[in-house]
Amino acid sequence: MEPVSQNKDEEITEATDPDHLGKMIREARLQKGWTLEEAGKAAGIGRSTLSKIENNQTRPSFDIVRRLTKALELKTPQLFVQSGPSDISGRRDVTFAGQGEPQDTATYSHELLCTELTSKRMFPYISTIKARDVSEFEAWIRHRGEEFMYVISGELTLFTEHYRPLALKAGDSVYYDSGMGHGCVSTSKENAKVLWVSLE
């Protein structure tokens, strides 16, 4: 009942299953109850081409795959699956309260959560936002991707480009494009505590 051992030596060699792509696409099409004709039309490709792709009798171009992902609403990362040993398949990682991995900067004090799982796609962490004056707000933080925040305790102001500053208190949550400039300032006397989950 112990975690699956993570073999560090094992290379992320070639694609796990050469038939993966076709299988995924066929599964998605049947899920929608579409025929080759219908799915092909939706994606703008011929039914013969689609047949060959689903049966892995061809190595489709990226364009074709992209059109299919759109038409079939496929989850793109699944198509790139990079094999078993190094991903999180069948694994879990716990971090008990206050046991996260500390990472401090001038204005933020982060506690990284679940850092054992290195190949996960979301990055959860808890930040203690030091109480300071709103006027102290400095530069925008920007990083490609999406971010979700949940206020655990305290009160703070979230600044984002294109929007008015937003006053938040415990229990409030925000989801935003993290490529858009953003930053927080605690407006309570004590420090504010926020849970973030970052993607990408």
Partner DNA sequence: TAGAAAAGTTTCCTATAAGAAACATTAGGC
Partner DNA sequence: GCCTAATGTTTCTTATAGGAAACTTTTCTA
Identify residues 60-79 at the interface with DNA (CB under 7 A): 60-61, 63-64
Contact pick of 21, 36, 72, 168 for DNA (by CB under 7 A)? 36
Which residues have a Cβ under 8 Å from the Cβ of 79 and sit 6 or more positions away?
20, 21, 24, 65, 69
| Cβ 39 vs Cβ 50: under 8 Å | yes
173 near DNA, rule: CB under 7 A: no
Q: Residue 17: how many CA atoms within 13 Å on its side-chain side?
A: 10
How many chain residues are in contact with a second copy, going by CB under 8 A?
Answer: 69
Per DSSP, the residues of 157-183 read: EEEETTS--EEEETT-EEEEETTS-EE
Which residues have a Cβ under 8 Å from the Cβ of 25 and sit 6 or more positions away?
50, 53, 54, 68, 72, 74
Q: For DNA, which is the closer residue by CB, 57 or 135?
A: 57
What is the C-alpha separation between 105 and 58, in angstroms, rounded? 51
Q: For DNA, which is the closer residue by CB, 51 or 115?
A: 51
The entry of DNA, a second copy, none that residue 173 binds, CB within 5 to 8 Å by partner kind: a second copy
CB of 166 vs a second copy, minimal distance in Å: 6
List residues bridging with 196 in a β-sheet: 125, 149
Q: Site mask, a second copy, residues 97-116, x = CB under 8 A?
A: xx--------------xx--
Q: What are the residues binding a second copy (CB under 8 A)?
A: 1, 3-4, 12, 15, 21, 59-66, 69-70, 75-80, 82, 88-98, 113-114, 117, 120-122, 124, 144-146, 148, 150, 152, 160-164, 166, 168-177, 179-180, 195, 197, 199-200
Q: What are the residues binding DNA (CB under 7 A)?
A: 35-37, 44-49, 51-55, 57-61, 63-64
